[in-house]
Structure 1
Amino acid sequence: MNAPAPTAPKSAASYGSAMRPSSIKRHLGTIVLALVLLSAPAWLHYVGSYNDIASRVLIYGLAAMGLNLLLGHTGGLSFGHAAYFGLGAYGVGLILKYLTHNVLLALLGGTLLGGLVAAVLAPIAVRRRGIYFAMITIAIGQMFYFIAIRWQAVTGGYDGLTGFSRHTLHFPGFDWTLGSLGFYYLVVACFALGALVLWIVLNSPLGHTFVAIRENQKRLTFLGLPVQRYAAISFALSGFIVALAGGLNALLDNFTSPNTLNYTFSGDLVVIAVLGGMRNFWGPLVGAAIFVLVRDYASTVTDNWMSVIGLIFVLSVLFFPLGIMGFLQRRRDAR
C-alpha cells in the first residue's frame, strides 16, 4: 500500500483564519453591545431618552452584575449589598468634598471603601447559608443605613450628602469635561472594566469553583475544599464591583443619601438580576434597562410606579423563570 503523501503543516496564520470566524460569532453579542453603548448618545434622543438615563442603566447594571456574582453564580441571596453601593457613594462624595477634586481618585477611594468593608464582613456573613445568610446581610446593611442617618455631621443624615460635584479630568495634552456626555463615556469605561473583571473571574478556575458551590456545596465540602473561604472571596469581589457602581451613582447625581444604603435598594438589585436572568452574564444589564426605563416612564404617569415594576416582575417569574436572557438562551439552544 502506498503511503499517503505528506502534507505541509498548517501555518499559524491559517489556524488563526480558521478560528477567527467562530471566535467572532461567539463574541458577536458583546461586539454589538459595545457598538450600541459607544454610539448611544447619537441616537438616544430619537427614542425619547437622554445620556443620564443611559448612565443610570449602566450603573444599575454594573451593580446588579456585581451582586449576581454572589447571587446567580455562587448561590448566595444577599439583601445587604446596598450597603457597599452606599459606602462607595459616600466615599466618593466625602473625598471630593474634603480631600481632592480628582474624580478618578475619589472613585478609587469609594470603591476601596465599599470593597474592603465587604471583604472584612464576608467571613462573618458566609458562615450561614440560605435564609440565615440573607438575614445576616440585611442586618449588616441596616447597620450602615442607621449609621448614615445618625452621623449627621459627616453624612448629612436624612438630608443626604451634598457639597460635591464632578470636575474636569486633566490629562497630558487634553482635558476630559464631565458633562452629561463626558460622564456617560466615563461610566461606559468603568462598566467595561467591571464587566471585564467579572468575565475573567467567571471563566477562571475560581469562577468555576463559585458555580460548583452553587450547585453542590456539600460535595465540595466532602472533597476537602474550604467552601466558606471561596464564598467569602465571591462576596468580597461582588462588594468591590457594587461599590464602584455606587461611586458612579454619586457622581451622576452629585448627591447621595441613606436610601442608597437601605435594604429596599438591595431588593431592587435582586429584582434587576432575576428579571434579566441570574444565570446569564449580561442578564442583569438587561434587567437594569427594563427597570430604569419602566421606572422613568411610569413615574411620569403615576406615583405608584412600584406597582408597575412589581407586576412586570411577577409576570417575568411566572412566564420567564430563568429571566429574559435565560429564556432567549434556552430558545437558541433548543434550535
Structure 2
Amino acid sequence: MNTATDTTAVSMPARRTIGGREIAAVLIWLGLLLAPLWLPALGGYMNLASRVLIYAMVATGLNLLLGYTGGLSFGHAAYFGLGAYGTGLFLIHVSNSLPLAILAGTLLGGLAGILVGPMVMRRKGIYFSMITIAFGQMFYFIAVRWNSLTGGEDGLTGFSRVPLHFGSTTVDLGATNFYYLVLGLFALVMLIVWQILRSPMGHTFVATRENPMRLRFLGVAVDRQIWAAFAISTFIAALAGSLNALLTSFASPDNLGWQLSGSFVVICVLGGMRSFWGPFLGAIIYVAAQDYLSSATQNWMTFIGLIFVLAVLFFPDGLLGFLKGRTRS
C-alpha cells in the first residue's frame, strides 16, 4: 500500500509556483495598459509615456548586444535615425499607409545594420566602439549634406501620423491611441527578445560575452554571433526610430548622432545592462529626468551626467541589479 502511494506521488508532476518575477511582470504590463488612467494624476502625459516606451525599446535592443553579447556600440542612434527618416520619406513620397511606413523605416535601419555588421563584428573592445561611432557619424553627415532628400540640418518635416484603417473602421491616432500602438509594438519586441534569450542563440550570446575563446575551440563562429546580435539590435532600434518620427512628426540629423547613442548606453547602465527589464527602468529614469530638468534649467545635461556618475559609483549593476541584491539579502 505504501509502495503504491509512493509511486503515485513520484509520478505526479511537480506544481510550478508563481514567483516574484512573474508577479512583477504582470504588474508592469497591467500598469502600462492602465497608464492613461493613472499617469495624468502624477502630472504625466501620454506622449511622455510613448517616449519612455520608444527609448526602452531601442535600449532593449542595444542591451541584447551590450549586456548579453558584450559589444559596446556608440553608434546605435544611426539606425534609430535611419528608421525615422525611412518612415518620414515613405509617408511624404510613397504612401500614407502607416503600417507600411513603419515597415519601411524598420527595414531601412535594419538592413543598414546587416550591411555594417560584417565590418564591425571582428573588432574587439574599444575598436568595436570606435568603428560603430565612425559608421554612425557617416550616416549623420549623409543626412546633413543631402539637403534635397533629408532637409539637411533643418531636418525632415511635412509628414504626420495618419489614421489607421481596418476595413470600414478608421482609428485616429491621437496621443492615447498612439500610445497603445507603441505599447503593442513594445510588447512584441519584448516577447521576441525574451524568446531569443531563452533559446540556444541567446545562450550563445552570453557565452560569447563570457568566454569567446572557448566557444571558438568548440567550433562556434563567434563573429557571426556578434553579427546576429548587432543586426537584431539595429532592427529594434530602427523600429523605435520609426515610432519616434511619428511621435514628433519630425526626423532630425540629431537622431543619428553619437550623443543620442551615448544616451541609449546611459539608459542601459542606469537600469541594469544584464537585466531583461533594466533598459525599461533606465528609460523611465532618463526620460522623466530629462523632461523635468529641461523645463527647469538649460543645464539639464549636467544633472543627467551627475545621475549617471552616481549610478556607476553606487549601483554598478544598475538600479535593477541593486534592487535584486537587496531582495536576496
Alignment TM class, shorter chain as reference: over 0.9
- Structure 1 pair 7–321 and aligned structure 2 pair: CA distance change class (3 A): closer
Structure 2 partner of 1:62: 57
Structure 2 partner of 1:103: 98
Q: CA deviation at 1:44?
A: 1.1
Aligned equivalents of 2:5, 2:24: Cα separation in 1: 41
Matches within 5 A, 1:69-84: 69-84=64-79
Aligned equivalents of 1:196, 1:185: Cα separation in 2: 16
SS in structure 1 at match of 2:170:
strand
Aligned equivalents of 1:167, 1:287: Cα separation in 2: 30
Structure 1 partner of 2:137: 142
Question: Which deviates the most, 151-160 or 118-127?
Answer: 118-127
Spell out, residue by residue over 1:169-209, the C-alpha distance to the aligned partner (whole angstroms, 9 max, x if none).
01135322101111000000010011111111011110000
1:248 partner amino acid:
L
Q: Name the % identity.
A: 56
State yes or no: 1:128 paired with 2:127.
no
Aligned equivalents of 1:109, 1:15: Cα separation in 2: 48
Aligned equivalents of 2:19, 2:182: Cα separation in 1: 26
Matches within 5 A, 1:166-315: 166-172=161-167, 174-315=169-310
- Structure 1 pair 15–176 and aligned structure 2 pair: CA distance change class (3 A): farther
TM-score (norm 2): 0.96
Aligned equivalents of 1:195, 1:59: Cα separation in 2: 12
Aligned equivalents of 2:324, 2:19: Cα separation in 1: 18
2:192 partner amino acid:
V
RMSD over aligned Cα atoms? 1.7
- Structure 1 pair 26–48 and aligned structure 2 pair: CA distance change class (3 A): closer
SS in structure 2 at match of 1:67:
helix
1:135 partner amino acid:
M
Structure 1 alignment gaps of length 5 or more: none
Structure 2 partner of 1:317: 312
Aligned length: 328
State yes or no: 1:4 paired with 2:3.
yes
Aligned equivalents of 1:3, 1:203: Cα separation in 2: 40
1:241 partner amino acid:
I
TM-score (norm 1): 0.94
Structure 2 partner of 1:157: 152
Aligned equivalents of 2:21, 2:72: Cα separation in 1: 30
